[in-house]
Chain A
């Protein structure tokens, strides 16, 4: 019985904490241990002599993506100011504004998924969220198309609600 108890880690820990009480043993690191992002399993891939992997070039990534992003952002400036100047937007301009907003939003959400759900940490969550985002973007695009064709359009609707 005694030998069995000595083998149990829990019993051993309780003995340690009991003997520790007069002089508290502090951890070496004073900062609180917050396991927001616990470290991943420590593994080493390859050797020190492996060349750094050069990512494949892609027509919609890197600098092209950056430029595309800025063109949409810059385009949103006059599209946002126009309704304030003109009071509202005609259906074509409203559709352009909606398209730009969807693209801008989609890119923004993508950036958030990329930033907060790293590939090497949560690959499945990231892939799932990317598909969820695509689904939501599609639903938003179709929903806004319906709103533009069956209702009065986003700017006019906002104006009517605002003046209500």
Chain B
């Protein structure tokens, strides 16, 4: 209820005046907040987090998966269109080309291919273990993470020298 006295009402002094000081000339006042929101800073990205074996391996799992599957997709698609461009992607040609490389190049290429493969495979088993609800505490995730790192490096080297 308006608590203005009868005298004030009679004298016409019950009117409140609120001067509009903010953006009186703006076409659409409902746009003020959206405009301010557009100027907000974007939340910092991965760089603010301390590198930890948990999330770094998670990222590497996706990166290695992308690299392995990407290689498979590129090779298979290239093999499909090879006759059109006269490329030689038959196993005999590839084996001959690879065999002609110096030993150091062979070992380097084999290691580069083997490490993402062993890591993604072993980390995949870790993921399947999590899917069964096992090894989900932070300590266990750290321990199995480093185990996977060690095993994938060792097995990749073993495969590279096969």
Contact = CB atoms under 8 A, between A and B. Distances in A.
Nearest to A150: B90
B137 to A, nearest CB: 21
B136 to A, nearest CB: 16
Interface in A117-164: 136-137, 139-144, 146-147, 151-152, 156-157, 160-164
Contact of B125 (A36, A77, A144): A77
B44 interface: yes
A22 interface: no
B79 A42 contact: no
Nearest to B41: A29
B154 interface: no
- Chain A, interface residues (CB within 8 Å), range: 35 or more
Nearest to B92: A160
B42 A161 contact: no
Contacts of A141: 76
Interface residues of B, number: 38
B156 to A, nearest CB: 13
A93 interface: no
A42 B38 contact: yes
A76 interface: yes
Nearest to A111: B62
B162 A39 contact: no
B79 A157 contact: no
5 contacts: A37-B42, A139-B80, A141-B76, A143-B78, A151-B90
Given A33-B41, A39-B40, A77-B128, 20 more contacts: A31-B44, A38-B42, A41-B34, A42-B33, A43-B34, A70-B131, A104-B69, A105-B73, A108-B65, A108-B69, A112-B62, A139-B73, A140-B73, A140-B77, A144-B76, A146-B80, A147-B79, A156-B91, A160-B91, A164-B96
